[in-house]
Structure 1
Amino acid sequence: MPRLFTGIEIPPDITERLSFFRGGLPGARWIEPSDYHVTLRFLGEIDDMIAADVDAGLREARVRAPLTVTLDGLASFGGDRPRALYASVVPTPELVDLQEEHERIARRAGAAPERRKFTPHVTLARLNREASPEAVARRLTEAGVFPRLTFTARRAALFSARTSRGGGPYLVEAAYPFADADFELDDE
């Protein structure tokens, strides 16, 4: 069974800009730009009934306007044991509200509560032990000034993650358009 999560897709022009930060860090497994996303609710390996209930809940969710998403810097998770390099996302009230709605839907469907605090981000690389805190700090410094990147999210999606090392490839299993949104990322 695939692992599932809900999230927001990153448009191609933003993925291209983020891909410029790839490389230059020993111990990094770089995420494919086509797999960049903002996770709203990680579900993990759940049974088909819970997955169907999550899907139904997302389809019935309140109508919301497209939302502005802004990426504003590079950072890492893990402190003295860095485990991921990411682009941070500004936690606007609209984005936090969307995430909280996905959390409620997941819980109503029977998924265990999420224990981690929501820190919106786009994972750029997963790091192993070779990526020392010093090397990560050096890479963040060498990256220079991060230009604020902004886009309009016009839908949320239910993604599946195929079993692999470091995640990906991620596939959109279902999409949930926001109000007045005719968004088709896959039409290339």
Structure 2
Amino acid sequence: MMRLFTAIAIPDDVREKLASIQPEHPDIRQTPESQIHLTLRFIGETDKTLTRRVLHALTHVAFRPFEITLSGTGCFPNPSSPYVLWAGVRYHPVMGDLYDTMQEELFRTGIPYQNRAFHPHITLGRVRQSEKKRPDEKPPLAPVLEDFLQGEASRFEVTFDVNCFRLYQSRLHSGGAIHHCLREYKAD
């Protein structure tokens, strides 16, 4: 079985800038700089036959090159109970069309439509509860989160060109997921 997802790769210089705004705290597991990407569609566990069908189906996803602007920071589900810390992505119609076309092609392979709305973002970290230290031995998390959500990081903005997307395999490890590119799909 393979755990698959599609994503837009982030250029090295942009990943470096994103890594520079990641908040640091014992209760935040940062996304490693080398693993920073923009997920388009999580596919999930697939066997070899379905993986081959997905690899082929994605060759039918046509799109034209476009620009992405990353802007600001935020968290899911909300600031009073954060779990995922992210950099924002400004909506671009071509990216929306790319996502919709990808959904159609994946559906033809037997993969159901994603039930939730497409909210493009780049995960920079996840908030966790540390079991290693007592709460009074750790620095407070609230000021770090406030700075990430309202300080200099919240004014982060960078634009880059997109001319392909990738199909990744994700392997889960104790330190987080490791992603490996299976194939790249170029714009028309």
Contact 1:157/1:175 (8 A) holds in 2: yes
- Higher Rg of the two aligned structures: 2
In structure 2, distance between residues paired with 1:94 and 1:9: 16
In structure 1, distance between residues paired with 2:175 and 2:115: 21
1:75 paired to 2:84: no
Residue deviations 1:69-110 (CA, integer Å, cap 9, x gap)? 110111001114311101011111111111111111221111
Give structure 2 stretches of 5+ with no counterpart: 131-139
In structure 2, distance between residues paired with 1:158 and 1:151: 20
Deviation at 1:135, TM superposition (A): 5.1
- Where in structure 1 do 4 or more consecutive aligned residues deviate above 4 Å? 130-135
In the alignment, which residue of structure 1 is the partner of 2:27?
27
In the alignment, which residue of structure 1 is the partner of 2:57?
57
In structure 2, distance between residues paired with 1:86 and 1:147: 11
The one of 151, 155, 159 aligned to 2:160: 151
In structure 2, distance between residues paired with 1:87 and 1:15: 11
Superposition TM-score, scaled by structure 2 size:
0.85
> Percent identical across equivalent pairs?
30
1:116 paired to 2:116: yes
SS state at 1:45 partner = strand
With over 3 angstroms needed to count, the CA separation of the structure-2 counterparts of 1:17 and 1:133, relative to structure 1, is same
Higher strand share: 2
Residue deviations 1:129-155 (CA, integer Å, cap 9, x gap)? 469677523432344452321000111
In structure 1, distance between residues paired with 2:127 and 2:156: 23
Give structure 1 stretches of 5+ with no counterpart: 180-188
With over 3 angstroms needed to count, the CA separation of the structure-2 counterparts of 1:12 and 1:53, relative to structure 1, is same
Superposition TM-score, scaled by structure 1 size:
0.85
Contact 2:23/2:145 (8 A) holds in 1: no
Deviation at 1:61, TM superposition (A): 2.4
In structure 2, distance between residues paired with 1:135 and 1:22: 10
In structure 2, distance between residues paired with 1:166 and 1:105: 33
In structure 2, distance between residues paired with 1:142 and 1:165: 31
SS state at 1:117 partner = coil
In the alignment, which residue of structure 2 is the partner of 1:184?
none
In structure 2, distance between residues paired with 1:166 and 1:46: 23
SS state at 2:82 partner = coil
In the alignment, which residue of structure 2 is the partner of 1:177?
186
The one of 131, 134, 145 aligned to 1:136: 145
Match runs of 1:1-20 below 5 Å: 1-20=1-20
